[in-house]
A and B are shown apart, each in its own frame.
Chain A
Amino acid sequence: MDLAILSNWFCQSDSGANLVGTQCAECKTFYFPPQMLGCKNPDCEAIDCEAILLNKVLLSRIGRLWSYTNACQRPPEPYECQGEFKPFAIAAVELDQEKMIVLGQLSAGFEVTQLKIGMLMELVIEPLHEGGHTSQAIWKWRPVFEQP
């Protein structure tokens, strides 16, 4: 199944892919996935406001690898994957400007053996399942191998 809600969580332009989040107009705290119910920071002046002060923003396209793992076994439903299961890697990336960690699959073809905590990671948009039956697109993280 394809999920309409996911198309609101990222976007792609000529300059690359970005996650779409929200940001509090008062205390500047970021939220991902984007939420519009109001700021959640209890120290924020806006938390008791009746008016919603959240704006949609594009999150940083580049971050640093916070941790990583992989899925060696097929996850249970609702993960959809017909046919032979191909293990995939997973990255948690820290966005410096937003001061938050965002989880994502690793870009197809990359493996955990190529990763090192702290390395630069770039957001890409790819099919959720490589060669899968669903056309669902999703955000993934791709390692940026810096020149020595």
Chain B
Amino acid sequence: MNSDVAILGVGMHPWGKWNRNFVEYGVLAARAALKNANVLWRDVQFISASAAPRCGYPGLVAAASFAEALGWQGAELQTCYAACVSGAQALAAARAKILSGACELALVIGADVSPKGFLKPEPGERPDDPNWMRYYLGFTNPTYLALDARRRMELYGATADDFSTVKVKNARHGALNSNARYRYEFTLEQVNRSAMVADPLRLFHICSTSDGGAAVVLSSLAYAKRMAAHCVLLAAVSTCSPRFPNAELTMPYLASDSSLATPPQAFHTANAMQAYEEAGMGPEDLSLAEVYDLSSATELDWYEHIGLCARGQAEGLLREGVTQLGGRLPVNASGGLASFGEAMSAQVLAQVCELTWQLRGQAGARQVANANTGIAVSQGIYGHGGAIIIKR
């Protein structure tokens, strides 16, 4: 069975700290995507939106808020929440709806507003929520990212300069992207001199949090053919959950699973491998990758999770320039989270926008030559993960 659907159009509201309602970012991104797809709002049959707690839950339900703001037109609505991977689940829902034949034209929207500083749980006393408990005990997101970074240094000889090089690379890419929040280059010295947050990670190794919005118009292949559209194809979406035992220490938990009775399972690798299998291809077919660089060290972990190299070889790829623009397989040509800052429920859809522009040859100064296949991978607390493959 052909499980491809068409990406007819994409649109974004630039990332930043705009201090406005998330609905505004979502609506502007949606209008841009509809225009880009050359379809009418009134023709959309399904609106799939990713929610985030900071959208004001339980008040402003995302899909309904966007639909009301764009003007009720009777479409079916669905809102999903999967932490930082919400956009992948929203995309998966729209894709499944199209593949089942229940609709032909769907609009996927994600928009978010972020407070300044550390991500943190909603107020209140909730000791039975692991995410609340770990903050009570002093363990922030950078804590977990730094533990993984220190492991890379110990096991694979990563250096602080390697982590800083990732930031310098992504900042150079982001400087070419008008949708990025930070559009300036960094020197190695600037990164190395920034304040230590969670040893060995410094401020400029860790992604910030932003406001932003992104939207994607999906259709069946038959609909795209009738439109005679110049489209790229969504070939795979994996949102599989971990398999017990998850032997890594992941947010928001205080301990890994015990692997006494069953061998440990690698979770992030599973997301990518399932997507490759679904798309009938492998890492050797990729032209570029967008990965969640929650920290500069996390980007290196992703090189291995998605099969660009064997475990422990990521620093080599980085040092050889393979993953920079102009290299054999550019990673985060958009500038990545380093240049965007995470707008949680919009971030995965921003990755999809970048891959779409790259595969259409519309990425301007950051265009990857002959781009024909790309992967976008993401991760979130509570065992969420996503992998998306887009092809020409």
Spell out A's residues near B (CB within 8 Å). 1, 3, 5-6, 24, 27-33, 40-44, 66-73, 75-80, 88, 90, 92, 98-103, 105, 112, 117, 128, 138
Note all chain A residues with C-beta closer than 8 A to B223: none
**Stretch in B14-22, B71-79, B114-122, B269-277 with 4+ CB within 8 Å of A:** B114-122
Q: Does B313 contact A (CB under 8 A)?
A: no
Contact yes or no, B151 A98, CB < 8 A = no
Q: List 29 A-B contacts (CB under 8 A).
A: A1-B125, A3-B127, A3-B136, A27-B261, A29-B261, A32-B254, A41-B261, A42-B243, A44-B261, A66-B151, A67-B150, A67-B154, A68-B150, A69-B142, A69-B200, A72-B196, A72-B199, A75-B135, A75-B139, A79-B135, A79-B136, A90-B139, A99-B258, A100-B260, A101-B249, A101-B256, A102-B255, A117-B150, A138-B137
From 250 to 264 in chain B, residues with beta carbon under 8 angstroms from any chain A beta carbon are 254-262
Note all chain B residues with C-beta closer than 8 A to A100: 255-260
- Give the 8 A-B CB pairs with smallest separation, nearest first: A69-B146, A76-B120, A27-B261, A67-B147, A30-B258, A100-B258, A101-B256, A99-B260
Tell me if B's interface is mostly helix, strand, loop or mixed.
loop
Q: Does B59 contact A (CB under 8 A)?
A: no
- In the complex formed, the residue of B with least CB distance to A116 is B154
Distance in angstroms between the alpha carbons of A87 and B245 in the assembled complex: 32
Q: Does B143 contact A (CB under 8 A)?
A: yes
- In the complex formed, the residue of B with least CB distance to A138 is B137
- In the complex formed, the residue of B with least CB distance to A94 is B256
Interface membership of chain B positions 129-155, coded 1 if the CB is closer than 8 angstroms to chain A and 0 otherwise: 000101111111011001111110010
Q: Does B60 contact A (CB under 8 A)?
A: no
B121, B200, B260: the one contacting A28 at CB < 8 Å is: B260
Note all chain B residues with C-beta closer than 8 A to A41: 244-245, 261-262
B128, B244, B255: the one contacting A103 at CB < 8 Å is: B255
Distance in angstroms between the alpha carbons of A128 and B136 in the assembled complex: 10
Note all chain A residues with C-beta closer than 8 A to B147: 66-69, 90, 92, 103
Most chain B beta carbons < 10 A, residue from A24, A67, A73, A77 = A67
Distance in angstroms between the alpha carbons of A69 and B196 in the assembled complex: 11
- In the complex formed, the residue of A with least CB distance to B253 is A103
Distance in angstroms between the alpha carbons of A27 and B258 in the assembled complex: 11
- In the complex formed, the residue of B with least CB distance to A90 is B143
Note all chain A residues with C-beta closer than 8 A to B150: 67-69, 117
Distance in angstroms between the alpha carbons of A30 and B258 in the assembled complex: 6
Q: Does B364 contact A (CB under 8 A)?
A: no
Contact yes or no, A69 B255, CB < 8 A = no
Q: Does B123 contact A (CB under 8 A)?
A: yes
Q: Does B195 contact A (CB under 8 A)?
A: yes
Q: A44-B261, A100-B256 are in contact. Are A70 and B138 (CB under 8 A)?
A: no
Contact yes or no, B260 A103, CB < 8 A = no
Q: A41-B261, A68-B150, A79-B136 are in contact. Are A73 and B197 (CB under 8 A)?
A: yes
Contact yes or no, B118 A76, CB < 8 A = yes
Distance in angstroms between the alpha carbons of A112 and B323 in the assembled complex: 32
Note all chain B residues with C-beta closer than 8 A to A33: 254-255
Note all chain B residues with C-beta closer than 8 A to A105: 137-138
Contact yes or no, B154 A117, CB < 8 A = yes
Note all chain B residues with C-beta closer than 8 A to A78: 121, 125, 132, 135-136
Note all chain A residues with C-beta closer than 8 A to B196: 72
Note all chain A residues with C-beta closer than 8 A to B195: 72-73
Distance in angstroms between the alpha carbons of A17 and B354 in the assembled complex: 52
Q: Does B317 contact A (CB under 8 A)?
A: no
Cβ distance A117 to chain B, nearest Cβ, rounded Å: 5
